[in-house]
Amino acid sequence: MGKVLVIDYKMGNTDSVLRAVEKCGGEPILSNSISDFENASHIILPGVGAFQKGMENIEDLGIKRILKEQVFKHKIPFLGICLGMQLLAQKGFEHGENSGLGWIEGSVQKFEKTNKDDRIPHIGWNEVNFKKENLLFEDIEFGQDFYFVHSYHFKCKNPSNIIATTPYCGEFVSAVRKNNIFGLQFHPEKSQKLGFIILKNFLSFA
């Protein structure tokens, strides 16, 4: 395994991701330089914050093209976490309508309460129910709890991209996959032992 690139696009939460990757046996580097993209064996896009600002920062840094090239042409394994997963969508509706990376068909929309107990933002531990056998969830039992912090969720257009859901505000998509592209709405780096298993599973993917 080479360097694990954690993309520095000024959207926070990078320190805990870097520490988690290191504990899982990876060699993380926080960067947005073209040479580090070219030398990475795995790429992680973390992030906490607004969809619009996340895309603006990616555009302003000039990394959108090299990111797509590494993921699509060179098939580098990619993991989006929280906002990083949401940016995979075609569109997001936080602070108006904004274009995302467009790698997975669908849109990011605000939660709507389905009962009086639903609280927005969705913060805390909740179960993740995977839909199909998937390498990210190897050695993890169905329905285990992971840590979430979000007010928006990814509405996938293609059911084949959904690999896990979580029962909240009805039900929402909590993990996606398309070939070498993975997305997690929850925070594996904050989900203790089980989150680290997921990160190790991702790092084992080549």
Q: Tell me the catalytic residues.
A: 82, 187, 189
**How do strand 106-110 and strand 98-99 relate by DSSP bridges?**
unpaired
Nearest to 17 by CA among 101, 61, 103, 81: 81
Q: How many residues does the chain have?
A: 206
DSSP states along 15-28: HHHHHHHHHTT-EE
- Written as one letter, the residue type at 133 is E
Return all residues near 33 (Cβ < 8 A) that are at least 6 apart. Answer: none
The CA distance from 101 to 80, in Å, is: 11
